[in-house]
């Protein structure tokens, strides 16, 4: 088996080439990837062209029948080994992910890799027990089958490549699909290493293929490929539009998990200490979290107390080297993204917003930006309406339930909402009226893989998670048998 070109990242040897049919192969011009942590050159990645994508899709197509025929138990045995191998290599994956995208090492070690392994193990287990209750009609008995759909294209963003990659790879493979994964071009290495871990764990050649490259070339070739049966994409709404148009030509079913501008609502009957602590946690991963509650909406009766406590909690966050224990906020992924975040804040300040904390690049230099909370913002302003995807929150106040629901629903997004209140009836009322794929009440970022996940409005199309993942990755088939029609 060809090992292809390799690079060493923080002592971990990582493959740089595409993974197609179990082989590491080149194809496409090389481009350099730099670490957001120290600007070091991590390695060169091939920018896969249409021919590369073609051979990856063909490899997946060839591997599909045997993988599907293994059934949930046969696949599950291999996926269990894959999940265990992720845990065994957790340390290596964390080293690479941190260098690759700047995520805080301790958080990745304590949560990220465990969750990545769980993404594989959970869906392998669910597939083994997946069944739909029989549907008895007047003439025939209906039984529902979850047949694997074929080749799935999985497109992953840079903010959490390992976690979001396995969140697609796990259910797609458990469903019996063969996959072609497109890692993010700014942070391609942890998924590249994951491909090797999968191979070593016994995944047959061609079942999991990886094509590297920039979105507009490699990604575009993949989503417009006529032999792809499913497209699962996580990323920005603009890219989703381009993918939807490409997929339309082949009528390829798709699932989109997109951006957010989620409200974080605090009523005056809430546990204030918990609400403040959770609000300060919205800066995790330097705010590069689609689910972050970036719009703080605080009842006016507690606004001063909340604001003082949050200013205090935010000032305790450690902005620094993500490799160092104790750091809370690392750098933004890329100089280009840093400029984008800084631009949002500059324009907001120029139009009258006031920094409660932060408001400027960190004195550390590089791509670090201070955790920032802006007050004095208009609901219609860019900073309230557009996803910044950095450590930037806005704070608005409200007086009534109706008012906060209007503010909460007043953007184009609908990914998540977080709500703090001590009143159960109010929690139920408000949750029912908020447009979002997920509403957290007195908690945040609780992700049970059995629950549906996705976004409303511009935040997504479809739902994944639990059986919803199988609804998407499978061809759900109804078999209707005329009652008492068999003679043997």
Nearer Cβ to ligand NAD (148/157): 157
Structure tokens belonging to residue 69:
């025929």
By CB under 6 A, what part of segment 432-471 binds ligand NAD? 455, 460
Nearer Cβ to ligand NAD (224/307): 224
**Which of the stretches 65-73, 234-242, 304-312, 377-385 binds ligand NAD when contact is defined by CB under 6 A?**
234-242
Minimal CB distance to ligand NAD: which residue? 215
Identify the residue among 185, 229, 321, 370 touching ligand NAD (CB under 6 A): 185
Say whether residue 189 binds ligand NAD (CB under 6 A).
no
Say whether residue 159 binds ligand NAD (CB under 6 A).
yes
Nearer Cβ to ligand NAD (22/287): 287
Identify the residue among 3, 38, 216, 227 touching ligand NAD (CB under 6 A): 216
Identify the residue among 157, 176, 195, 331 touching ligand NAD (CB under 6 A): 157
- Smallest separation (angstroms) from ligand NAD to the CB of 257: 3
Identify the residue among 22, 260, 287, 371 touching ligand NAD (CB under 6 A): 260
- Smallest separation (angstroms) from ligand NAD to the CB of 96: 17
By CB under 6 A, what part of segment 397-436 binds ligand NAD? 415
Catalytic residues: 257, 290
- Smallest separation (angstroms) from ligand NAD to the CB of 39: 20
Say whether residue 387 binds ligand NAD (CB under 6 A).
yes
**Which of the stretches 93-101, 251-259, 318-326, 438-446 binds ligand NAD when contact is defined by CB under 6 A?**
251-259
């Amino acid at each position: 088996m060809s090992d292809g070109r390799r690079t060493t990242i923080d002592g971990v040897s990582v493959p740089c080439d595409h993974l197609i049919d179990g082989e590491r192969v080149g194809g496409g011009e090389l481009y350099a990837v730099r670490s957001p942590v120290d600007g070091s050159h991590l390695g060169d990645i091939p920018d896969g062209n249409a021919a590369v994508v073609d051979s990856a899709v063909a490899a997946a197509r060839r591997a599909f029948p045997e993988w599907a025929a293994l059934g949930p138990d046969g696949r599950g045995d291999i996926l269990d080994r894959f999940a265990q191998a992720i845990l065994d290599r957790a340390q290596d994956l964390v080293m690479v992910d941190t260098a690759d995208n700047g995520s805080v090492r301790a958080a990745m070690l304590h949560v990220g890799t465990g969750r990545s392994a769980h993404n594989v193990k959970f869906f392998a287990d669910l597939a083994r027990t997946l069944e739909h209750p029989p549907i008895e009609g007047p003439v025939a008995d209906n039984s529902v089958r979850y047949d694997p759909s074929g080749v799935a294209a999985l497109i992953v963003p840079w903010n959490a490549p390992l976690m979001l990659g396995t969140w697609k790879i796990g259910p797609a493979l458990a469903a019996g699909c063969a996959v072609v994964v497109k890692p993010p071009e700014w942070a391609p290495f942890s998924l590249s290493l994951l491909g090797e871990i999968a191979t070593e764990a016994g995944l047959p050649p061609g079942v999991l293929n990886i094509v590297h490259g920039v979105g507009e070339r490699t990604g575009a070739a993949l989503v417009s490929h006529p032999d792809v049966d499913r497209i699962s994409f996580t990323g920005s709404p603009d890219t989703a539009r381009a993918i939807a148009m490409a997929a339309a030509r082949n009528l390829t079913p798709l699932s989109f998990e997109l951006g957010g501008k989620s409200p974080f609502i605090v009523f005056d009957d809430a546990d204030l200490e918990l609400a403040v602590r959770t609000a300060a946690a919205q800066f995790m991963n330097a705010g590069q979290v689609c689910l972050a509650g970036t719009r703080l909406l605080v009842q006016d009766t507690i606004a001063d107390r909340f604001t003082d406590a949050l200013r205090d909690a935010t000032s305790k966050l450690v902005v620094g080297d993500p490799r160092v224990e104790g750091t809370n906020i690392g750098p933004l992924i890329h100089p280009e993204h840093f400029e984008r975040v800084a631009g949002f804040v500059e324009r907001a300040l120029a139009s009258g917003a006031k920094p409660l904390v932060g408001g400027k690049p960190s004195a550390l230099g590089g791509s670090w930006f201070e955790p920032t909370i802006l007050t004095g913002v208009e609901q219609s302003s860019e900073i309230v309406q557009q996803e910044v995807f950095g450590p930037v929150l806005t704070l608005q106040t409200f007086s009534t339930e109706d008012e906060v629901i209007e503010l909460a629903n007043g953007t184009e997004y609908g990914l998540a909402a977080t709500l703090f209140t001590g009143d159960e009836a109010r929690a139920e009322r408000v949750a029912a009226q908020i447009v979002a794929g997920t509403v957290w009440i007195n908690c945040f970022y609780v992700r049970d893989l059995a629950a549906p996940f996705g976004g409303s409005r511009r935040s997504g199309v479809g739902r994944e998670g639990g059986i919803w993942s199988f609804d998407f990755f499978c061809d759900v088939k109804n078999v209707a048998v005329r009652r008492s029609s068999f003679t043997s």
